[in-house]
Structure 1
Amino acid sequence: MHHLERWEQLGAAILGRKQLPHAGGVDNYRPDDWVRLSRSLEEHRGIPIALSLLSDEQRSAMPPALLERWKDAHITYTLQHLRQQQVLADCYAAFDKLGVDALALKGAWLSICGYAEPGLRPMRDLDLLVRGKENAVLVFDHLRSNGYRTLKPFQKHDWWLENSHQLPALVDPSESVLVEVHHRVFHGNGPDMSDEDRFWASAFKHKVIGQEVVFPGLEWTAVHILAHSFRDHKLNNGPLVVTDLSILFGHEDFQLERYQELVEHYALEKEAMLAFGLLSRVESKANDAEINAAWTMMFSSNRELRALRDRERFTQYSWGELLGQVVPSPSRLTSQYGVPKGFLSKARGYASHFNRLLRQRSTEVGTKVEPRTAAACEIFENLMSD
């Protein structure tokens, strides 16, 4: 049986509205429990929504200095979101001129159309899905010619279109907002929402700073969040998925039957079962150990979970696949990393690649993974693979 530590219980009580198991309630939690919870929520952008969900009892029991830090974080995220809204509106003005269909995904949907106020749902970036690979390239190149730049050197689109669901991340001219142009919704090469006409037909418009922005339908967004957090990222993007899904499921227009049909269509039944368990829904068949393991994973550091995932992935590679990861082909070096053609350029490119690989892998090898985190991941993987 996997049990939650005290600070994790506190986090689950706030974000999942669960009952605290200890007699004496919130007064039984020490300042260190609040500090550990705050450290996790800060990494995963969960402070603003946690602040808004605090009960009067929880707010009174929280260390005053920490409460003030949470309030400051909420203000900071709100100001950041205002800039993100402006960039989103600017992008859609460009889409209108280019005549392309595009949808604002995930965080943009939730922060603007779901949460009570935008600052409660911070975004790392703007995820914009463009219909058709050719149009995705058109949008990407248009943004680059208008002051947006890639974070890393870039030359060719081909590698990204064939091996990723998106093109390289862009930063806006103010150097403050990241924008990702997607040509697929899901990671991998399986069936995708973007291939379905009914997905695009579900779209609705909402004005953002006077500009019409287009968002996908409610149930499609819920399934996307489910796949993104549970399947694609294996819960390494934190506990916001719990409040995200709670907001979507609680929406007055949410249709449970349509959602369940999409869950089955994209083979996400186990992910949906666990999500219902985290939200204490009666439909869930997940047991307490599986639910607690998911909470532990969501509260764990991203570096810790990434180290575990990469170690497992490397043990599954064949020698040929492992060699391909360590020594990329010249064409991949050019397409993915933007290395120009020519012997000297290639030599410098390989030197840069090996330096980057060494820094990244040495960090992962040196990352301490708590045994209980590894145990939680094992429970999660067993559930998903059964």
Structure 2
Amino acid sequence: MVTEAFPCPETIWLAEVLRGEPRWPPQNMDKNAIQRVLTAANSNDVQELLFTKLHSNSIWEQLPDRLRQRLHDAHRHAIARELFLQEETAKDLDALAAAGIDVLLLKGTALAYNLYASPALRPRRDVDLLMHDKSTAHKAWHLLEQRGYTRGDAIGGDLISHEYCCARKVPPSAGVVLDVHWKLSNSHFFAQKFSYDELRCKRVPVPMLGSGAYALGAVHALIHALFHRAWSLGGNEPDRLIWLYDIDLLCRHLSREQWDEFALLVATRDLGPICREGLERARECYNTPIPGEIFAHLKPQHPRSNRQLELMRPGPGRVLYEIQSLGSWRSRLRYLRGHLFPSRHYMQQRFGADRGPALIFAYLRRGWGGIKKRALTWQRSLR
């Protein structure tokens, strides 16, 4: 039920509005609820959607003036920000295309331009780009660096992270942030399910971002949205209404043939349990129309398939499942070593230490902090 994933009344009301059932005043909310509604809308990344849904409904005139003004101001800011992002993203994509670098847009930006009535309705903190392989991503970095981007600190290692983040300031705006990926996910379990060439064969254009802009096809985008949500939850992020709204819109745009393709891919790649959970949650939240027979194809393919749900939960089960998805013990040991002992470059950027006692102390400090963080996470997961 919606109340299980989003127990606070403000978030429940937001879900009601997004599925077309607005009412005011909401039940179980006191006179101080306006700020909590705005906070919940912001943390769920649905503030712009909330404005659009309410403004087009007769309930708009019943809302408190303060709420209407805050939503209207946020909407105007989102439109201005989107115009800037659209122009800058198109320039970056054109530059990459001119250099012969093939790119697929992922997640929020792709969905904003191909699914939503206006891209400003889909907030995102960065632009996610998928490239063919690591060498292509590094080639792209040389170009992006020339365009004024700088890279942030991130744990290195082939088995730890399959992306880098870079940012470019464009005064007076906050700038642009790119996440450049060379695998579909940082999860080894999921990253190995689809090759870049397979995804590219089903790509779709994103005309508003230029002639060279492409994104995942609808079926791959739905599978990716379902797994991205699951992986984020396992990373100790709270569930968000916007993730489920993405899933809802993707489902509503699938044809009968695409649903059949989705069912076949999920079954053959053994992604049934995670995809089923996400679809059920979207249906509970937004009454998402899903063909009934689809769920028959989302059954576990093997006795251990249900264990993939561990990826959605913070704790040792998630780490163990990821380790087991690596093919060899050598890879598993490299994975653990990369987590426990990041590169000197990362330690220098993160802690300002690159040699001698300072580096040893930085490793100890990082290790102790990680132990405390994971202990708290596992403790919460057992409640």
Q: Give the C-alpha shift of residue 282 in structure 1.
A: 5.7
Give the Cα–Cα distance (whole angstroms) in 2 for the partners of residues 141 and 127 of structure 1.
17
* Counterpart in the other structure of 1:288: none
C-alpha change, 1:206 and 1:343, in structure 2 (3 Å) is closer
User: Which residue of the partner structure matches residue 187 of structure 2?
Assistant: 188
**Aligned partner of residue 127 in structure 1, secondary structure:** strand
1:249 is matched with 251
Residue 195 of structure 1 aligns to which amino acid in structure 2?
A: S
Deviation of 1:169 (Å):
0.9
- Cα distance in 1 for partners of 2:34, 2:278 equals 25
Task: Give how far 1:218 is off.
Answer: 1.1
Given that residues 127 and 179 in structure 1 are in contact (C-alpha distance below 8 angstroms), is that contact kept between their aligned partners in structure 2?
yes
The answer to which of 226-235 and 347-356 deviates more is 347-356
C-alpha distance in 1 between matches for 2:138 and 2:353: 28
CA shift in 2, pair 1:131/1:109, >3 Å: same
1:83-133 residue CA offsets vs partner (Å, 9 max, x unmatched): 222232122222223212210111111111110111100111000000122
Kept in 2: contact 1:160–1:336 (CA 8 A):
no
Shift of 1:6: 2.8
Letter in 2 for 1:221: A
Is the 2:160–2:338 Cα contact (8 Å) retained in structure 1?
A: no
Q: In structure 1, what residue type is equivalent to 2:116?
A: Y
What amino acid maps onto 2:127 in structure 1?
A: L
Partners of 2:277 and 2:318 in 1: how far apart? 23
**SS of equivalent residue, structure 2 residue 104:** strand
Please report how far the alpha carbon of residue 314 of structure 1 lies from its aligned counterpart in structure 2 after TM superposition. Answer: 9.1
Equivalenced residue count is 338
SS of equivalent to 1:72: helix
Structure 1 residues 109-120: aligned runs within 5 Å:
109-120=110-121
1:145 positional shift: 3.6
Between the aligned partners of 1:315 and 1:209, the Cα distance in structure 2 is 40
Please tell me whether the aligned partners of residues 92 and 211 of structure 1 are also in contact (alpha carbons under 8 angstroms): no
CA RMSD of superposed structures (Å):
4.2
* CA deviation string 1:306-325 (max 9, x = no partner): xx8369879999xxx9xx79
Q: CA separation in 1, counterparts of 2:31 and 2:119?
A: 29
Deviation at 1:29, TM superposition (A): 4.7
- C-alpha contact 2:130 2:183 (8 A) present in aligned 1: yes
Q: Secondary structure at the match of 1:169?
A: strand
2:60 aligns with 59
Candidates 4, 11, 16, aligned match of 1:13:
16
Distance 1:15 1:378 in 2: 32
* 1:188-337 correspondence to structure 2 within 5 Å: 188-190=187-189, 191-192=191-192, 194-195=194-195, 197-208=197-208, 210-234=210-234, 236=238, 238-251=240-253, 255-277=258-280, 278-279=282-283, 280=287, 281=289, 283=291, 309=314, 328-329=340-341, 332-337=342-347
Q: Does 1:50 align with 2:50?
A: yes
Q: CA deviation at 1:177?
A: 1.3
> Could you tell me which of 165, 168, 173 is aligned with 1:169?
165
Aligned equivalents of 1:81 and 1:357: distance in 2?
Answer: 40
Once residues 38 and 32 of structure 2 are traced to their aligned partners in structure 1, the CA distance between those partners, rounded to angstroms, is: 10
Instruction: Work out the CA distance in 2 between the residues paired with 1:335 and 1:215.
Output: 33
1:68 and 2:69 aligned: yes
Query: Residue 247 of structure 1: CA displacement?
Result: 1.8
Q: Which residue of 1 aligns with 2:104?
A: 103
Partner of 2:92: 91
Q: Could you give the per-residue CA deviations for residues 233-274 of structure 1, whole angstroms, max 9, x where no partner exists?
A: 346351101221222222265721122222223333233333
Secondary structure (helix, strand or coil) at the match of 1:163 reads coil
CA distance in 1 between counterparts of 2:219 and 2:116 reads: 16
Give the Cα separation in 2 of the matches to 1:346 and 1:276: 51
Which residue is equivalent to 1:79? 80
**Contact 1:276–1:283 (8 Å) recurs in 2:** no
Q: Which amino acid aligns with 2:183?
A: R
| Cα separation, 2, equivalents of 1:74 and 1:364 | 38
- 1:360-371, aligned counterparts within 5 Å? none
After the TM superposition, which of the residue ranges 195-204 and 185-194 deviates more from structure 2?
A: 185-194
Instruction: Return the alpha-carbon distance in structure 1 between the equivalents of residues 79 and 227 of structure 2.
Output: 27
Cα offset for 1:43?
A: 2.0
Structure-to-structure mapping, 1:95-174, within 5 angstroms: 95-152=96-153, 159-166=156-163, 168-174=164-170
Residue identity in the other structure for 1:69: R
In structure 1, the gaps of 5 or more residues are 286-307, 380-386
8 Å Cα contact 1:126-1:179 kept in structure 2: yes
Do 1:87 and 1:177's aligned partners in 2 also have CA atoms closer than 8 Å?
yes
Cα distance between partner residues in 1 of 2:112 and 2:38 = 21
